[in-house]
Structure 1
């Protein structure tokens, strides 16, 4: 029995790439820069990343066997963010969310406003009742879309002055990720959902290149760019018969997953995942002595959900690193990311010589 897969993965590479990816703004629909970076990274290992018309990326790893059926691993690189809804008379910006999050999780956050002509402006997300010294109901003021605004770090106090900066409705807003990678293995940052999983997939590519191994079945790594808004991987190539969504495992309430585990999701809001695939993943985690947990996520949907709802005739499963405080100030541990990558290698039947 091989129990060394997680020790042969290149942790330094995986966490180094994750650090870089976390710092590249990529709210849903604004993934051009990060996809170009991943395209370059795939080329380093001898692979081409094809682009779908929607902007997703597909990296094909040829199999050594005769089967024409492929397996796909998908992770999403798009994140939560916002869009300028309107420029207010006082020069502040009203926003509309991209993705699902509570407004209180971004109050006080630094951000970038990305204009259509390529300029960037720094700002801060604030309640419209900013100070307890001024507004007697500031503490009780509901943190909702209509009561939040962006204060731009420019000399502007009117709608006209802000518009002269080139800022307009439809401009993308990205949050400061506040990346911290600690020597004891903790990784805390916004957007670990799902850049931690993307780093795990590229750790798989690095492992294949370094070891010279080849999977028996053709593998397609699909990087999606609209998962946070529900339709990231609704299209799946026709030769794919099995799909594993690689996305964060949430933590809390009666859930078992921790920040050191690879989470195996048996059921989410879209219903149960494929019984045989899920059972196989559990058995492989046991065989390879990987920290894992099996959980149910009733408030969760994945790119596998999107593929099934899009009409794909596939079997599907869902795994990923455990992440605390999802869609807020997230935290995971290096061990969870490595265990996720190791389980993906094990599912392909790859072992250490």
Structure 2
């Protein structure tokens, strides 16, 4: 059986979750939405103590399970301190270039539930004022958040309820184009979450059953390295679904499913990678096999935690990762197709 993926569903769900702020450590709202969507599709969903979601799909064979993992946490920041001028100094959550967030709109989330808008700038933001504005080094110490409120002092900011440790989320600015391209922040890794839910939707709509029980794990601490450090013990194989990087000598494009043979944590399981390649070729799915030297995945985290599993990594090709990203619906839908092919034969 070759299940068909509902691209309209995938795009609709992706657009929705892209617009839910979820920097690592501030993911409760998006996890509740993901759990509710799994239950709407008719699958059991449980929340882990860490705040991740595990969706269970019974298979024909209950001896061992196939794990799929994607992460809903994103890059973001926190308030490090409040400057005397009433701007905010930030500390990054996740790894990114400061240039990639300069002039970005953001939200400041206070611990008492208030939300304020702002803009991330350098402390020398204007060429009409600062002679070094063009060459001013874009580094953490030189970045600040301008709050869209009449604040001029630390005391003014304190009256808003903003304090160190509050989260800052970046506007996704998601755009879904008619030709299939999707440009947005946080496609890493919400595009993969949408691919897994495309798979789940196809199981419900077409009524097919995986060969083995599926445990789909949506994690919430991947961007800082320990998202899938816990996985259920019955999982024997784990496929991390995460974006494929593009550039340099890499061959993945935004239209391809990336199959990663090796990343910074080392090679992935030979048999699983070979099987994924074979299934992609069998089903006519455009793919590329690449090496990612500056990359780690939830599968890496699970292996480092000591889980007795075999692991692989696939996902849609995403350009300009950890900056203003872009992919294509073809890559997302085909990632779901490849997962479905593997799940039927596992």
Q: TM-score surpassing 0.5? A: yes
- Confirm or deny that 1:144 pairs with 2:139: yes
Question: In the TM superposition, what whole-angstrom CA distance separates every residue of 1:72-110 from its partner, at most 9, and x where no partner exists?
Answer: 000000000000000110000000000000000000000
Task: Specify the alignment match of 2:103 in structure 1.
Answer: 108
Task: Return the alpha-carbon distance in structure 1 between the equivalents of residues 42 and 242 of structure 2.
Answer: 25
Task: Return the alpha-carbon distance in structure 2 between the equivalents of residues 195 and 171 of structure 1.
Answer: 23
Runs of 4+ aligned structure 1 residues displaced above 2 Å come to: none
Task: Specify the alignment match of 1:42 in structure 2.
Answer: 38
Aligned pairs (5 A) from 1:210-221:
210-221=205-216
**TM-score, with length taken from structure 2:** 0.99
Q: CA deviation at 1:68?
A: 1.8
Task: Specify the alignment match of 1:172 in structure 2.
Answer: 167
Q: CA deviation at 1:348?
A: 1.2
Task: Specify the alignment match of 1:198 in structure 2.
Answer: 193
Task: Specify the alignment match of 2:343 in structure 1.
Answer: 348
Alignment RMSD: 0.8
Unaligned runs of 5+ in 2: none
Task: Specify the alignment match of 1:51 in structure 2.
Answer: 47
Q: CA deviation at 1:288?
A: 0.1
Task: Specify the alignment match of 1:76 in structure 2.
Answer: 71
Q: CA deviation at 1:39?
A: 1.1
Q: CA deviation at 1:48?
A: 2.1
Q: CA deviation at 1:46?
A: 1.2
Contact 2:209 2:344 in 1 (8 A): no
Task: Specify the alignment match of 1:235 in structure 2.
Answer: 230
Task: Specify the alignment match of 2:320 in structure 1.
Answer: 325
Task: Specify the alignment match of 2:14 in structure 1.
Answer: 18
Task: Return the alpha-carbon distance in structure 2 between the equivalents of residues 48 and 31 of structure 1.
Answer: 20
**TM-score, with length taken from structure 1:** 0.97
- Confirm or deny that 1:292 pairs with 2:287: yes
Unaligned runs of 5+ in 1: none
2:248 to 248, 253, 274: 253
Question: Residue 149 of structure 1 aligns to a residue in which SS?
Answer: strand
1:62 to 58, 63, 71: 58
Task: Specify the alignment match of 1:94 in structure 2.
Answer: 89
Contact 2:44 2:57 in 1 (8 A): no
Task: Return the alpha-carbon distance in structure 1 between the equivalents of residues 221 and 172 of structure 2.
Answer: 19
Contact 2:7 2:333 in 1 (8 A): yes
